[in-house]
Structure 1
Amino acid sequence: MNVLTTGLGWNEQQPGGLNRYFVDYTNAMKEYGHTELGLIVAEPGVELNTSLNVNNTATNASGLLSRIRSVRAHALQSLSTFRPDVFNPHFALYASMVSRQSLPDHIPIVTHFHGPWALESKMEEGGKPRIVREARYLLKKQVEQLTYRRTDRFIVLSEYFRDILSNNYGIDHSKIHIIPGAVEHERFKPHPDRPALRARLGIAPGQKLLFCARRIVHRMGIDRLIDAMQAVVREHPGIRLYIAGDGPMRSKYEQQIVRLGLSANVRMLGRVSNEELVEWYQAADYSIVPTITLEGFGLVTIESMACGTPVFGTPYGGTSEILRQISPDLLFKDGTAEAMSGKLINALRGQFLLPSREACREHVLQRYTWSSVAGAVTDVFRDAIEMRSKGGASR
């Protein structure tokens, strides 16, 4: 079928979970046999380096409203040039001007809910006055609800996001389908010569390496992980923690590392390439996901395990749903620095049996492949199309 998708940005310019999911999802749906047309907003005039049918709708830099209108214009134009069977938005803001009335009745809207955009934004705007944050939050939530009210079916990546969508936006459970994310398992895989890789990355034989890949914002819990390393380093002076990613809190966390005297053990790598990301997963002894809240799935969790590396994570959201299936021992008791340091110290002491590198990869291959995601999404599309054909429109 012809699937019209709208996303956020382009992953090569704006790395992040939603943008990476959008690229991999579009490729998986193409391989499954669908014809996809993706609309995103990258830097104005930028040509996307991809074989996928994804268009950059940005034509100028005149502001947010013009970008939303540009997505709308491209979407409406596609009704005659592309003739979609399904409209599949992945970001509420850029889909907000594509009204139900602008689409033919037979085309269902199936929305991927990647998280509460308004609430996430509010949490990341902690430096602004409260009245400003509240006003911006309410406006953004109204935009989300406008988009969601016209949606026929929803796809979420976890039970956690299903509950947020239901409780925060009033969406009935019967409209929500849980389809977990997936990983490119041919790219994220164990290294054929891990000792040689570790040597090239400057990791000494027997030296323990922890790795964390996160967007550097407050809710990701990076500051608590850095605090936790004080106790870990006291017992294991040679241990290393490398943190990949960028964001507004990076400078503050770099200062925290220096203030705590951890510069020899903790290093912030900044933004890394996709190839480098795979290598750090492959080289690490453990990956860490210290997110405090709003972890809808945790793509980094399954990426690491696909490379054979066990993951320790906080017992929240999608991280908990993934890790509790393979071993409850991989979950911290809570999101405090004390819980993280205690668990990591006990693991380094060998006080409990962790899943092997082979078991980690097999866990991913059995549950989180793109072919299974594409099949499950197709079933939702077919259900929505059939509902529309019978006049069961969602108004």
Structure 2
Amino acid sequence: MVIKSRGNMTEPNNEKTSNLRILMVTDYYLPQMGGGTRYVHEVSKRLAKRGHEVHILTPKWENQSKNEEIINGIKVFRHNVTDLPILRYWTQIFNVRRYFKRLVQNVSYDLIVFYQFTSALGIVLDRKALNDAKTVWTFFGPPHKEMNLELSNTPFPCQYFVLEWLYKKIFLKVEIAFAKKSTQFELGMCDKVVVLSSYAKKELMELIPGLSESRICLIPAGVDIGQFGPANVSKIKTRQQLGLPEDRLILLTVRRLVPRMGLENLIRSIPFISIEHKNILLVIGGRGFLKDRLQKLVAGLEIRHYVVFAGFIPDPKLPIFYQAADLFVLPTLALEGFGFPPLEAMACGTPALVTPVGASPEIMKKFDPQMITKGTDPQEIADSINAFIRDRNRTALSSSRCRNFVINNYSWDKAVSQLEKEYVELCGRREE
């Protein structure tokens, strides 16, 4: 869309054209990494390359000093926020609203895309500030369910028992109920809702039973097939780069170390696997508050020889870990809204095994139903890994077939083309 200036205000003119001015409102952005961050970054940079003007509005978390910066040609605005659990959501809602009102005094957006309820609420409450902008919510999954699973088990950052009790018994329950009601309200206010999987759509319809199908758009996410690809050196060389043994059969998982990721069950599966396959090695990448507990579990099971904690794996090294592995395992217990790691591993030519949770089965059954475990318990995970090891040379699991599956079904160019079409059509309707 051609942008004309009127004093300090820039606004879209009435001429029909496909270029848009888009504001992405998200709780997390670079340099923080995670599935949500990766999604926003990949979509925004590709939309910018297609001629759209994309801005990001996000909190300024710890160790982030700049309120404004440009990343890959995208202008990023950061508002202040506190890390204190009791106050984080409330200050975020207030601060994002205040920053947004300042922003729209100088910029008129065609489209505003939301990703989480906290940042969204501060803006949708003020319909006047939105002007004529269309709104889209990209729904990764139900936030109240994730909060209940994760925050209930997260250590409280304070040694006072009374404060921890008050938070977990009162404030957390209020936050979870607030998250559910806020999400329902905000989704109801948005013009369009994008979901990444049929599973996410099911969760959405459960959250808002009366939501019209015409307002829902299912567009799977993608994988950067340039960043994630087969190694141009041997597997031995990739392992040497990482300091991993050359002669072991390596199982890899990359997860946040939190309960719903299923890492305890994966670790408990190792004794069942090592009975038959003595040369396995499980490499766990990621960080989180469960690390000490997981390490104690490994020690208690006397399987230190079979498990390595690699810690946080920075993005540039992630493809090398995928390339070095023989099998990637996603042992999720709950709420897998899409799941980037299995597809990233497959783009690198490494087969992936997933539990039948969330969106994982609908993705993997198109590739090979045998790469879905029967359940999430340790024995079921072990059975599937043992079956893979016994038959891992079959053609269906070849490196080229893994990569081609991702290229043909989950490229970012395909995903962003579909998103762009939806965005342009949505904004075009108000010009008719």
TM-score of the two chains, using structure 2 as the length reference: 0.84
CA RMSD between the two structures: 2.1
Number of corresponding residues:
389
Which position in structure 1 is the counterpart of 2:103? 78
Choose which of 312, 327, 334 in structure 2 pairs with 1:293.
Answer: 334
The share of aligned pairs that are identical, in percent, is 24
Choose which of 76, 100, 113 in structure 2 pairs with 1:55.
Answer: 76
What amino acid sits opposite 1:119 in the alignment? K
Cα distance, 1:105 vs structure 2: 5.4
Query: 1: CA distance between counterparts of 2:50 and 2:358?
Result: 29
Judged with a 3 Å threshold, the aligned counterparts in structure 2 of structure 1 residues 60 and 141 are, in CA distance, closer, same or farther, namely closer
Judged with a 3 Å threshold, the aligned counterparts in structure 2 of structure 1 residues 248 and 60 are, in CA distance, closer, same or farther, namely closer
Cα distance, 1:54 vs structure 2: 3.7
Q: What's the secondary structure of 1:148's corresponding residue? A: helix
Partner deviation per Cα, 1:31-56 (whole Å, 9 max, x = no partner): 22211011111326523572342424
Q: What's the secondary structure of 1:126's corresponding residue? A: helix
Partner deviation per Cα, 1:283-322 (whole Å, 9 max, x = no partner): 1000000001110000111111111111000112221121
Unmatched tracts of structure 1, length 5 or more: 391-395
Partner deviation per Cα, 1:104-160 (whole Å, 9 max, x = no partner): 553211111122111101111334756654333111112212221211101111000
Choose which of 403, 420, 428 in structure 2 pairs with 1:361.
Answer: 403
Matches within 5 A, 1:148-297: 148-170=187-209, 171-193=211-233, 194-297=235-338
Partner deviation per Cα, 1:40-83 (whole Å, 9 max, x = no partner): 11326523572342424224649533333332233333334332
Judged with a 3 Å threshold, the aligned counterparts in structure 2 of structure 1 residues 60 and 89 are, in CA distance, closer, same or farther, namely closer
Query: 2: CA distance between counterparts of 1:145 and 1:376?
Result: 25
Residue pair 1:28, 1:374 contacting (<8 A) in 2 also: yes
Residue pair 1:46, 1:56 contacting (<8 A) in 2 also: no
Residue pair 1:90, 1:112 contacting (<8 A) in 2 also: yes
Residue pair 1:217, 1:249 contacting (<8 A) in 2 also: yes
Q: What's the secondary structure of 2:23's corresponding residue? A: strand
Query: 2: CA distance between counterparts of 1:34 and 1:6?
Result: 16
Choose which of 130, 138, 142 in structure 2 pairs with 1:116.
Answer: 142
Does the alignment pair 1:7 with 2:26?
Answer: yes
Unmatched tracts of structure 2, length 5 or more: 1-19, 154-164
Cα distance, 1:163 vs structure 2: 0.8
Which of these two proteins has the greater Rg computed from alpha carbons?
A: 2
Partner deviation per Cα, 1:70-108 (whole Å, 9 max, x = no partner): 322333333343321111111121110212622455321
Q: What's the secondary structure of 2:79's corresponding residue? A: coil
Residue pair 1:183, 1:370 contacting (<8 A) in 2 also: yes
What amino acid sits opposite 2:120 in the alignment? A
Residue pair 2:45, 2:74 contacting (<8 A) in 1 also: no
Cα distance, 1:20 vs structure 2: 1.8
Does the alignment pair 1:306 with 2:347?
Answer: yes
Residue pair 2:57, 2:77 contacting (<8 A) in 1 also: yes
Choose which of 21, 44, 48 in structure 1 pairs with 2:39.
Answer: 21
Which position in structure 1 is the counterpart of 2:57? 39
TM-score of the two chains, using structure 1 as the length reference: 0.92
In proportion to residue count, which structure has more strand?
A: 2
Identify the range of structure 1 (303-312 vs 23-32) with the bigger mean alpha-carbon deviation: 23-32
Judged with a 3 Å threshold, the aligned counterparts in structure 2 of structure 1 residues 379 and 269 are, in CA distance, closer, same or farther, namely same
